[in-house]
Structure 1
Amino acid sequence: MTAQSPKVQFVTVTEEDEGQRVDNFLMRFLRKAPKTLVYRIIRKGEVRVNKGRVKAQTRLVSGDVVRIPPVSVPEAKTVVESDIPRSQMQRIEDNILFEDKDLMVVNKPSGVAVHGGSGVNWGLIEVVRLLRPLAKRLELVHRIDRDTSGCLLIAKKASVLKDLQQQIRDNKLDKRYLAIVEGRWPKRKHKVDLPLRKDRPKEGGWHVVVAADGKPSVSFFTVERHLRECDLVSVKLETGRTHQIRVHALSQGCALIGDDKYGDRDVNKRFRPLGLKRLGLHAQFLGFTHPVTKQWMCIEAPLWPDFKKIIETLALPGNVE
């Protein structure tokens, strides 16, 4: 079933939302709408700011008037505690790495989406909202892939969200990952500077490719250990494009182990009996300036047991350069 918003809405942007992208602003007002619908109404010019057409990435200014058209969206029932296994609720609660009145950092498990939608009934943000019912506005500051584990930053206030997202735009967030890549990482290949473009092939779906007309994307790879038939590498991101680490690693002939989208199916199949039944990618460190205290925060997400065990299983004597 679908429900239709009754009429056009005109929403005035407040100081709290100044600087937010149009697409993210709309998703807050059209929570049940799929992202594809949000981008379609922007592209068709049905969304206007101060009576003018805009792009998804247009930044809003306090006092702007946003026209939101009436849209038909799926009737989705509110996620309640009984919809989520108690064990999952407890697992998220037990893996909150840092929390105060302004924000929290969670060590997200692999296999848990950051939010519900597209066939997923619930995600981590829905769990956190149930765990913290008194927090009026819990929002994701950024996203990581469903199969990636590790640090995920959540804001509790609009002003905190705005500040942290500005830090992302200014490349002031320090994001570091651990990845298990196929084969041996190329010697002396530390910086991968290749533009990335998100494509939608005719057969459906989408994937990210290296392309001259893509968005600038920079990753820094360092080999931490040689493992059996693979390498453990640390990755520091200068930019944060969709699937950036996965596609940059693939570009060097070293796809991530367990990557069902970009990796080698036969290689993945060979590693599953050894215990790697997930994507070999973990967001290990997250550094940022606390928007309120102005203190530099560096949060480490411990490796999940399955990730730690596969490293131990594949370990070779000694370390690398």
Structure 2
Amino acid sequence: MSEVRYVEVETNHSGQRLDNFLKTLLKGVPSSRIYRIIRKGEVRINQGRAQPSSRLQIGDMVRIPPIRQSKSSDLSTNPLLIRLAQCLKSQVIFDDDAILIINKPAGIAVHGGSGLQGGVIEALRLQAADSPLLAPPFVGPAYLELVHRLDRQTSGCLLLARSRAALLNLQQQMGGSKRSATKHYLALLQGCWQGGDRRVSCRLRKNQLLSGERMVIVSDAGKIAESLFSPISCSDIGSLVRIELLSGRTHQARVHAVVCGAPIAGDEKYGNHDFNCLMQGYGLHRLFLHASSIHIRHPVTGKSMHFQAPLPTELQHLITAMGLDCSAIMGH
């Protein structure tokens, strides 16, 4: 059991909600416990009681009561996480004091949860903490947060912020009325794509089935989502398509592909079973969805920046085996 401690709020946590600050600070402590100690007044800001929604300011002094943290929350010696951290060293696309962009491999979650001990963000934070087991490969401060997410089976460009100011700036670029960032994906869809570019707009809502499985469905009660599909190369079996996400909803590209009548190859949740089996015969054992590029303005300098993640070799081999022309996207 730890003793009472006092934590001074620094720049990177200015403006953050108290509950989110504590969740970051108290790894391994259940959320219910965190809300309980706030409600009972055991957590205080500048000696005064606070609410979970209280916003922190630079220089605030936060009182943290004695609280037990699970030993399992210490990931610094987790061998799987250490290996992942080593793997990600070779996947850095860009890194400076404000942003970090990596080429996330397929099969790796962006964060822990749902039975996973850790993911990309935990591995990168392990690096940033200068673990004695690892040589730090990245520059910049230890603060690191995901700006957006990629599904576990999706590969490609993943953007992280190295300061809270950068995080808020980039999140504004990716959402709302002032949206300016662009994200493009490459996907293999079922069948021969009919027509040219197609804009898909419909409302999507997260839904939980009786089995407990979580899926996103088209629903008037959902949030508006828009995507632009542009065919690159087509055959009777499948079509290579570029998808631009004009909004950022969960599973948006995957559900919109189904709306188009052309589910993504390898999609076990929303896809077509027979098509997936056919693609396995071509050697596909993952979701064929790759975040190929992202365009942003640097959160500090305002400079326009474009980043690309090459299509993984196994996906290049697949579309070549299918007779699709991938020359237009090689290196993208």
Query: Do 1:93 and 1:131's aligned partners in 2 also have CA atoms closer than 8 Å?
Result: no
1:244 matched to 2:252:
yes
User: Alpha-carbon deviation of 1:239?
Assistant: 0.5
Deviations 1:199-225 (A, max 9, x none): 112221211001111001000110011
1:247-262 equivalences under 5 Å are 247-262=255-270
3-state SS of the aligned residue for 1:93?
Answer: helix
Matched to 1:211, the amino acid is: S
3-state SS of the aligned residue for 1:84?
Answer: helix
Aligned length: 307
Alpha-carbon distance in 1 for matches of 2:248, 2:163: 23
Query: Do 1:208 and 1:242's aligned partners in 2 also have CA atoms closer than 8 Å?
Result: yes
Corresponding residue for residue 183 of structure 1: 191
TM-score with structure 2 setting the length:
0.77
Alpha-carbon distance in 1 for matches of 2:202, 2:69: 37
Alpha-carbon distance in 1 for matches of 2:254, 2:152: 13
Alpha-carbon distance in 2 for matches of 1:108, 1:296: 22
Matched to 2:279, the amino acid is: F
Corresponding residue for residue 79 of structure 2: 83
Corresponding residue for residue 129 of structure 1: 125
1:40-59 equivalences under 5 Å are none
Match of 1:140 among 128, 142, 146: 146
1:194 matched to 2:202:
yes
Could you list the runs of 5+ residues in structure 1 that have no partner in the other structure?
none
Moved more, 183-192 or 281-290: 183-192
Moved more, 301-310 or 11-20: 11-20
User: Alpha-carbon deviation of 1:142?
Assistant: 1.2
Corresponding residue for residue 222 of structure 1: 230
Moved more, 95-104 or 60-69: 60-69
Q: Give the direction of change, closer, same or farther, for the CA distance of 1:225–1:112 in structure 2 (3 Å limit).
A: same
Deviations 1:2-26 (A, max 9, x none): x9x999x999987744666788656
Alpha-carbon distance in 2 for matches of 1:217, 1:247: 10
TM-score with structure 1 setting the length:
0.80
3-state SS of the aligned residue for 2:101?
Answer: strand
Alpha-carbon distance in 2 for matches of 1:187, 1:65: 61
Corresponding residue for residue 159 of structure 2: 153
Deviations 1:22-55 (A, max 9, x none): 8865642454367xx57x979xx999xx97797x
Corresponding residue for residue 270 of structure 1: 278
Deviations 1:82-108 (A, max 9, x none): 512776444311110111122210000
Could you list the runs of 5+ residues in structure 2 that have no partner in the other structure?
42-48, 131-140
Match of 1:305 among 297, 307, 313: 313
Query: Do 1:81 and 1:130's aligned partners in 2 also have CA atoms closer than 8 Å?
Result: no
Query: Do 1:227 and 1:311's aligned partners in 2 also have CA atoms closer than 8 Å?
Result: no
Matched to 1:153, the amino acid is: L
1:276-287 equivalences under 5 Å are 276-287=284-295
Q: Give the direction of change, closer, same or farther, for the CA distance of 1:41–1:147 in structure 2 (3 Å limit).
A: farther
3-state SS of the aligned residue for 1:271?
Answer: helix
3-state SS of the aligned residue for 2:157?
Answer: strand
Alpha-carbon distance in 1 for matches of 2:40, 2:120: 31
Alpha-carbon distance in 2 for matches of 1:71, 1:265: 49
Alpha-carbon distance in 2 for matches of 1:67, 1:195: 43
Deviations 1:260-296 (A, max 9, x none): 1111122211211212110010000011111112211
Query: Do 1:20 and 1:162's aligned partners in 2 also have CA atoms closer than 8 Å?
Result: no
Corresponding residue for residue 205 of structure 1: 213
Matched to 1:210, the amino acid is: V
1:291 matched to 2:287:
no
3-state SS of the aligned residue for 2:294?
Answer: strand
Corresponding residue for residue 133 of structure 2: none
3-state SS of the aligned residue for 1:216?
Answer: strand
Deviations 1:87-135 (A, max 9, x none): 6444311110111122210000000111122211221122222333354
User: Alpha-carbon deviation of 1:235?
Assistant: 0.7
Alpha-carbon distance in 1 for matches of 2:293, 2:195: 24
Query: Do 1:16 and 1:162's aligned partners in 2 also have CA atoms closer than 8 Å?
Result: no
Matched to 1:143, the amino acid is: R
Query: Do 1:225 and 1:319's aligned partners in 2 also have CA atoms closer than 8 Å?
Result: no
Matched to 2:95, the amino acid is: E
1:103 matched to 2:103:
no
